[in-house]
Amino acid sequence: MTPEIAVSEERPLEAGCDALVVGAFQAEESPALTEHGRAVDEAMDGRLGCHLEAIGFKANPGNVVLVPTGGATSAPVVAVAGLGPEPEVSTSQVRRAAAACARSLGHAAVLGSMLHSDGPEGSAAAAAEGYLLGAYRFTAHKTSPPTTKLSRVLFFEAAADEVARGVAYGSATTLARDLVNEPPSLLTPEVLAARAAEIASAGGYTSKVWDADALTLDGFEGILSVGRGSAHPPRFIRLDYQPPEPKAKVALVGKGVTFDSGGLSLKDARNMETMKTDMSGAAAVLGAMSALAALQPQVHVVGLISATENMPGPDAMKPGDVIKHYGGTTSEVLNTDAEGRLILADALAYASEQGADAIVDVATLTGAIMVALGGKCTGLFSNDDSLAQELQTASEKEGERNWRMPLFDDYASELESEVADIKHIGGRYGGSILAALFLRRFVGKDIPWAHLDIAGTARSDSASDESPKGGTGAATRTLLAWIEGRG
| H-only helix segments in 182-300 | 189-203, 212-218, 221-227, 269-272, 280-295
The H-or-E segment that residue 64 falls in is strand 64-68
Question: In the 8-state DSSP scheme, what is residue 145?
Answer: P
DSSP 275: G
Q: How far apart are CA 399 and CA 111, in angstroms?
A: 23
Q: How many helices (H) and strands (E) does the chain have?
A: 15, 20
CB atoms within 10 A of CB 482: 27
Among 6, 11, 316, 322, CA closest to 151:
6
Looking at residue 195, what is its pLDDT?
98
| Cα distance between residue 463 and residue 426, in whole Å | 35
Report the pLDDT value the prediction gives residue 145, as an integer from 0 to 100.
83
| Among 137, 195, 276, 341, the one annotated catalytic | 341
For residue 359, how many C-alpha atoms fall within 13 Å in the half-sphere facing its CB? 28
Residue 245: φ, ψ to 5°: -130, 75
Pick the CATH number of 4-156 from 3.40.50.300, 3.90.1310.10, 3.40.50.510, 3.40.220.10: 3.40.220.10
- What residues are paired with 330 via a beta bridge? 324
Question: CA–CA separation, 241 vs 203, rounded Å?
Answer: 8
**Taking the domains of the chain in order of start, what are their residue ranges?**
4-156, 169-486
Q: What's the CA angle centered on 220, arms 459 and 201, to 5 degrees?
A: 65
Q: How far is the C-alpha of 319 from the C-alpha of 419, rounded, in Å?
A: 13
* Helix 476-486 / helix 160-181 crossing angle, nearest 10 deg: 140
* Sites in the chain below the pLDDT cut of 70: none
Check 47, 58, 267, 469 and give the catalytic one. 267
What DSSP character marks residue 485?
H
| Per-residue pLDDT at 400 | 96
Give the E-state strand segments of 292-385 in sequence order. 299-310, 322-324, 330-332, 358-363, 378-382
14-69 pLDDT, tens digit each:
999 999 999 999 988 789 999 999 999 999 999 999 999 999 999 999 899 999 99
Name the helix (H) or strand (E) containing 98: helix 91-104
How high is the pLDDT of residue 275?
A: 97
Catalytic status, residue 267: yes
Catalytic-residue membership of 195? no
- Alpha-carbon distance of 486 to 356, in angstroms, equals 12
DSSP classification of residue 81: E
Q: What is the pLDDT of residue 487?
A: 85
376 DSSP assignment? S
Helix/strand/coil for 1: coil
How does pLDDT run across 148-189, given as a tens digit for each residue? 889 999 999 999 999 999 999 999 999 999 999 999 999 999
pLDDT of residue 144: 84
Q: Residue 357: its pLDDT value, please? A: 98
Radius of gyration from C-alpha coordinates of the chain: 24
Superfamily of domain 169-486: Zn peptidases (3.40.630.10)
Calculate ∠ Cα 436-440-442, nearest 5°: 130
Query: What three-state secondary structure class fits 58?
Result: coil
d(CA 190, CA 232): 7
Give pTM, 2 decimals: 0.97
The answer to whether the CB of 423 falls within 8 A of the CB of 332 is yes
